[in-house]
Amino acid sequence: MSVRITGRDYMAVTPSSVKYSEITPADICIIDFSGAVVEGSLAPSVEAGMHAAVYRERPDVNAVVHTHQLYGSVFAVLNQPIPALFDEVAFALGESVEVAPYALSGSPELAAGVAGKLKNNANAYIIQNHGIIVLGKNMDKALLAAELLEKVAHIYYLALSTGKPVTLLPDSIREIVRGLRAYDVEKAGTKT
């Protein structure tokens, strides 16, 4: 998990190999977008490069959460995007939850693969054979996105398992979602 430190190309990110239940504020790493440690004595998450790639590409994002949650990971191994199924989920996550290509955990290629998907202005992505990454204006929104993604992935999995066709949102609603997400990102980009 990470948050952008506004006004600088820095972020606060969770350390590598420390249980979340045991993390204290002093364990949080402050690093710049190239991965250099600014403050903190522990090694930052191996996926810090992926977080930095998001902050570089998306001015609207101030918090990033990466997980290996169960139903999100089902679609990671199916290498299958999750389409817009509910309007309120689509407004929060984006028109579609796309799949970023597989690359080794912690590699620059993985960060580049995620960065390459960010232009659709969504707040949620699946990472092939790995997990998911969600974005938000703040940490509360990013955490909510992780929960929403898990819920919609669970529902989509159950719906697909019936073997019946899954109904998507109408085109007109998807268009509204696309417009609103683009507006949000553009508005954040023009802020000084």
Q: Considering the candidates 47, 57, 98, 147, report the single residue annotated as catalytic.
A: 47
C-alpha Rg value of the chain to the nearest Å: 17
Interface segment toward Zn ion; rule CB under 5 A; list 74-82, 128-136, 142-150, 161-169? 128-136
How many residues bind Zn ion, per CB under 5 A?
Answer: 1
Helix (H) or strand (E) holding 143: helix 139-161
Closer of 111 and 169 to Zn ion (Cβ): 111
Interface segment toward Zn ion; rule CB under 5 A; list 3-11, 85-93, 96-104, 125-133? 125-133
| Distance (Å, whole) CA 15 – CA 28 | 6
The DSSP code for 33 is T
Closer of 44 and 131 to Zn ion (Cβ): 131
Length of the chain: 192
Let me know if 98 is a catalytic residue. Answer: no
| Distance (Å, whole) CA 48 – CA 75 | 23
Closer of 131 and 136 to Zn ion (Cβ): 131
Which residues here bind Zn ion, judged by CB under 5 A? 131
